[in-house]
Chain A
Amino acid sequence: GAGVSQSPSNKVTEKGKDVELRCDPISGHTALYWYRQSLGQGLEFLIYFQGNSAPDKSGLPSDRFSAERTGGSVSTLTIQRTQQEDSAVYLCASSPRDRYSYEQYFGPGTRLTVT
């Protein structure tokens, strides 16, 4: 079946601009995670969505970062007033979140470069 998809695959933006990154999870997966991967910080958790529950935003690095998930499926991560330190690969993962299965399946990522 289809895996997690993300768009765009690459995004170059100027410092101070806003960007939107999109994630389409695997059909039927109720849990959705955003992570980012950078050389300095490795892989870091950003935000988590599960069904209609309130998201866990504990990993968001600043209030310039926000995310939403519409209809329990597609998610958008928005970064406002981008800074150079936001340059990273942003990864989305989904999980079936059944009782015994918590593995997360990752998308190919969006490489964000802030100039």
Chain B
Amino acid sequence: AQKVTQAQTEISVVEKEDVTLDCVYETRDTTYYLFWYKQPPSGELVFLIRRNSFDEQNEISGRYSWNFQKSTSSFNFTITASQVVDSAVYFCALSVASGAGSYQLTFGKGTKLSVIP
């Protein structure tokens, strides 16, 4: 079975601070995919990034960066110079191929980020 742990339930930072959201995953599959989604107060889940298990390259997209480390089964997300618009719940998720061919997402419980102006 797959499991995703986001140990930080809530984080508050002051605007312009950097913040890192932690994600630890568990799977016995050697091929898997990792994701981050953002859920703003409006409620709609917004896809941010996908990572394949065979690609440990870190990624940067503007103020966002992701650190994937297979050795520690972690896929952490850093927001640099946070802004009020970053306030949301962030979900880390994992997918593997099921016997039925599905790639359903297993989500962590989410981290609620509040950026204070």
Contacts and interface: CB of A to CB of B under 8 A. Distances in A.
Given A45-B104, A48-B104, A102 B95 contact: yes
A56 B101 contact: yes
Interface in B27-46: 33, 35, 37, 42-46
Nearest to A31: B103
B100 A54 contact: yes
Contacts of A45: 104-106
A54 B102 CA distance: 11
B47 A102 contact: no
Nearest to B110: A42
Interface residues of B, number: 25
State the majority secondary structure of interface residues on A.
strand
Contacts, number: 59
B10 to A, nearest CB: 14
B45 A106 contact: yes
Contacts of A89: 43
A66 B44 CA distance: 24
B66 interface: no
A45 B98 CA distance: 12
Contacts of A31: 103
Nearest to A9: B43
